[in-house]
A and B are shown apart, each in its own frame.
Chain A
Amino acid sequence: MYGMVNKAVEDMVIRHHGEAVWEQIKAKAGVTVDVFMSNESYSDDITYNLIGAASEILKTPAEQILIGFGEHWVLHTATEGYGNLMHAAGRTLPEFMRNLPSFHSRVTMIFPKLQPPHFECTEITSQSLKLHYYSHRQGLAPFVVGLMQGLGLKFKTPVTVCRIAAKDAGADHDIFAVNWSPASAS
């Protein structure tokens, strides 16, 4: 996994619970990395272990942590790291959603070793779209829900996200129905 993901988990935990809790989580997860390099590739186990340890120590279900993490990713990690590019990618939620697949495509082009997820938007209307999420990783669908919710907050556009196809239930890939209010998104 992209080091930026682990860095974001670290940032989220420290922001809400402090450095000491992060050290506890790291210790529980058996992670000894001092500084995650954003563009380096790390074993997926590190991320899964961190999420698992955070769930245990913060006494919060992993799904809830992943949703919160998705929101944190958009509102802090991506905004602080790629704010200008996000701004250039769209001023509204639907505009941004149209550019979302390109972001991940460029990651693939720039860092061939990384295996970022792939997104596609279909059935785009003025107030909804279907978001197709392709990833070889398991269990991160709640993270995508958090990402959409975070984007809703970023663009001040209340969104509802509903998973209508689940890879872990046998579907080819996860599909989310994303709906928003047309007035606020325009």
Chain B
Amino acid sequence: MNPATPQASRKIGLPPEQFAAAFPFHFALDGDLKFIQAGDTLKRICADVQTGVALEKIFHAMRPRGEVSRQWIENNRAHFFLLEHRKTNLLLRGEFMQLPEQNLWLFLGSPWFTDSSEISALGLRFEDFAIHDPVADMLQVFQANKIALEDAKKLADKLTAQRAELRLANERLRQQEAETNKLALIAARTDNAVVLTDSSGKVVWVNAGFTRLTGYTMEEVIGKTPGSLLQGPETDHATVQYMHNQLSKGEGFKAEIVNYTKAGRKYWLASEVQPIRDEAGQIVNFMAIQSDITARKNSENLLLETSALQRAMLEGAGYAIIACDKQGIIQLFNPAAERMLGYTAAEMVGKLTPAAFHVPEEIAARAKELTAELGREVPVGFATFTAKAELGQPDQREWTYVRKDGSRFPVLLSVTTLFAERGHLIGSLGVASDLTERKRDEEKLRNTVSELERFNRVMLNREARVLELKRQINQLLAAAGRPPDFSSVTETNPSTKLE
């Protein structure tokens, strides 16, 4: 309190007990700044505050700065004083009042705390403070501020974490957006038709490819199901039902189906449909990528027809048709071959080479013959059959086949090599006809000709003898002076003479 401006109009003295209760941390000093009295609480906390002990020995001057002395006190009476108890570091905040009548200095003050933990550390209780003393209030303010700061820190930490998450999310979003833009561009520019429907299958977006394929514009199809526009008389109902079931189950699928363009042109469509789900796993869209596979379907049909023709030819042919891979292993053994040789296709295909039904000596002899003919060593074995054909030369000759039962028969075998598209050898094809009948006919013919020749010879001999007899009769008649009976047979007509 400033002594120059007294406020009270009456002198009020307090009885010592009331004074002690009102100022539990007070102390009084004599003119030499030695303790002559102190509050009970102060004495309990600072046990070295005892009568007769000098202030400077017990307390250190924190504020105002300076050495503890009467001069220091007098010079700073307009300010508050902050004293530090040397032993406990307790800070006392207060003011010095000079009581000249009693020649003493009175210090009125309270402990100064900055944290509520200090009050516990010193063993103080609220009861140790005067009721008017705001120290407890101040401590509660400090504590409330401390808690507020902790809350603010927690909030700041949370915000920092959220910002970090946001940054990450933004980055992910940016990447997703880039990806989406890329995909959108692909979806828009691709030749495939792309259709996006809602979860009920109604179109929400189509790309230009869809319009090119079907003839329908986006405006014409939005809100409609693709099937209601594109399916027609040759659309397979079972496939439509399958697609419908998959959509109902929320599962993706692939299907090939006949559709019709807006102009009514039929086309084959391959469609891959996938559900698109949100973060909660709920289906929000279906996406279909579709392509026109009409050309492929046509090729497949042609292939099927060709295959059927080939199969019919192979199965119906009267020739044995035997195809081998380049190692000579039989790959095809047609029914005629089965009938001819007595083996089933199952016994031959993938298991044996034609050596199984050839005469080894014939193969060896042919290899020798080819070696001489081609001017290079032709090995005995499967290569013997293909050596000429590999050169692109026709190789047709007679061979002897050996049936499963060991019986033999002649065949005319024509060997052709099989080349893949890039010109490399993939195997050979042998076509063999049974020569047994032909051989038999040839033999019969040969026999007939021989018999006829013999008969001819007999006939010619007989005529020669008749002519000789006629000539002899003519000679006898001439000897008898008679003209010859057989004028056509004369000595001068040698042309009639037979050999």
Contact = CB atoms under 8 A, between A and B. Distances in A.
Q: Which of A38, A88, A106 has the most CB of B within 10 A?
A: A88
A89 B126 contact: yes
B155 interface: yes
B409 to A, nearest CB: 89
Contact of A34 (B120, B125, B137, B158): B158
A90 B124 CA distance: 10
Interface residues of B, number: 22
B124 A35 contact: no
A110 B151 CA distance: 17
Given A35-B154, A37-B155, A110-B141, A88 B125 contact: yes
A34 B143 CA distance: 23
B136 interface: yes
B116 interface: yes
B148 to A, nearest CB: 5
Contacts, number: 66
Contact of A38 (B125, B140, B148): B148
Contacts of A82: 116, 140, 143
Contacts of B120: 84, 87-88
B152 interface: yes
Contacts of B88: none
B152 A37 contact: yes
B151 A37 contact: yes
B158 A35 contact: yes
A35 B125 contact: no
Given A88-B119, A110-B141, A81 B154 contact: no
Given A4-B147, A39-B144, A99-B126, A85 B155 contact: no
Contacts of A7: 151
Given A90-B125, A110-B137, A39 B148 contact: yes
A183 interface: no
B425 to A, nearest CB: 71
Given A35-B158, A99-B126, A84 B148 contact: no
A4 B154 CA distance: 14
A126 interface: no
Interface of A: 3-4, 7, 34-39, 81-82, 84-85, 87-91, 99, 102-103, 106-107, 109-111
20 contacts: A4-B147, A34-B158, A38-B151, A39-B148, A39-B151, A81-B143, A82-B116, A82-B140, A85-B116, A85-B119, A85-B140, A88-B119, A88-B120, A88-B126, A89-B125, A89-B126, A102-B136, A106-B137, A109-B137, A110-B140
